[in-house]
Structures are given as C-alpha cells and as structure tokens.
Amino acid sequence: MNKKILILFAHPKFENSRIHKQLITAAKNHPDVYIRDLYQEYPNFNIDIKKEQELLLKYDIILWQHPVYWYSCPPLLKQWIDLVLTYGWAYGDGGNKLEGKLILNVVSTGGRKEAYSKDGGNKFSLNEFFLAFQQTATLCKMNYLPPFAIQGSHKLTESEIGIHSKNFQLLLTLLQNGLINSETSIPSQSLLNEFILTLKS
C-alpha cells in the first residue's frame, strides 16, 4: 500500500525561486502527494491549528520543504511548528498523535556543500544546523531522516536543477513504497540525496 506524503511548503518568495518551482512541479505530478503551500494559505500568519492537526493525522510521511534562511526555516514554518505541535497532542502527556510518522527537511541553500563544513564559511554541516528539527521530531516520537538538500543554488543551471528534481521524484517514490523507512540505515552526517545516489549505483 502506498504511503501518503504531506509536503509542508514554506517559501516567502516562491515567485523568485528557481529550485523550489521545479521541485513543486515535480511533486505535483506525483500521485498521493499533497502540497500544503503555507505562505499561500496563511499570508497573515494566522494558522488554523485544528485544520493543520487534522491534516497531519491523514499522512504517514511529512516533508518540511523550504529554503534555508539564516541556518533555519522561514518564519511561517517556525510559526507552524510552534503552534501546531501542541502539548498533549504532539508531545508530552498523551501527546502521541504523530508517533511513528516519518519526517524530513527538503531544502535549498545558497551556499555549496563545502561552505557547510568544519572548514567552510558556515563552520557546521547542515545536519548539525538542523539538530533543532531533529530533536523536535524526536520529542514528537517521529522518525527524523537527514535533509534532502540542493546546495549552491545560485550557481545551478536549469538543467542541473532538473537533475535534482528527478532525484526528488525518486525520493518520493522510494518513500511511498516504504523503500526508505525508519529502519533504513543512513550515515548520520550524510544528506538524503547523496544516499539515494548510492542506492542507484
């Protein structure tokens, strides 16, 4: 049985984005994927908590898709996390509604992979920056996967982005068919897109 995927997409400047446009188009053509465009849904940040929670219950796999701003997500996604993942529902006493779901970040970064390393300008890897997301997922009893990251976004040509979005489609298929799941052993400091490539070869 196909697993259902919910993409929580947060991009305040989607119209200027090259990467996410292609990724979203790719996801749109994919069956059993629901894209929730948060900035379109809540332009004034007034998130409908109940509705978001009901949606979460219907899906097995959740993708936080966003560009990386200041080593984190855009503010509306943070707002979503703050408001929707409530005590007693997502975590804490009796908070087990999200238990067992798979979750990961699908991101783009301006800086290339080398910039996100001990010797790069950013000093830390993306996995390290995203520890906050990982711990959030863990506290909600979800299984967090390493990020799927498209990096060096400014330098990428359209066709290079095309390759990435093919890869993204592959990720969606693998996730849906349960070929990547909580038991899959992925090296902790790697990116999910690199891992997929190793599967391919």
Burial class of residue 121 in the structure, from the number of CB atoms within 10 Å of its CB (0-12 exposed, 13-18 middle, 19+ buried):
exposed
> Mapping DSSP to helix (H, G, I), strand (E, B) and coil, where does residue 39 land?
helix
Please name the residue ranges forming H helices in the chain: 19-28, 38-41, 49-58, 75-84, 126-129, 131-139, 158-176, 192-200
| Least Cβ distance, residue 96 to other proteins (angstroms) | 33
Can you give the binding site for other proteins, defined by CB under 8 A? 12-16, 39-41, 43-44, 67-70, 76, 109-112, 114-115, 120-122, 152, 154-155
> Mapping DSSP to helix (H, G, I), strand (E, B) and coil, where does residue 87 land?
strand
Phi, psi for residue 136 in degrees, rounded to 5: -60, -50
Which H/E stretch holds residue 90? none
| Least Cβ distance, residue 156 to other proteins (angstroms) | 12
Residue written as token pair 């068919």:
177
155 or 200: CB nearest other proteins:
155
Distance CA 123, CA 187 (A): 20
Tokens at residue 10, please?
A: 């947060």
* Residues recorded for the chain: 201
| Least Cβ distance, residue 49 to other proteins (angstroms) | 19
| Least Cβ distance, residue 57 to other proteins (angstroms) | 25
| Least Cβ distance, residue 198 to other proteins (angstroms) | 26
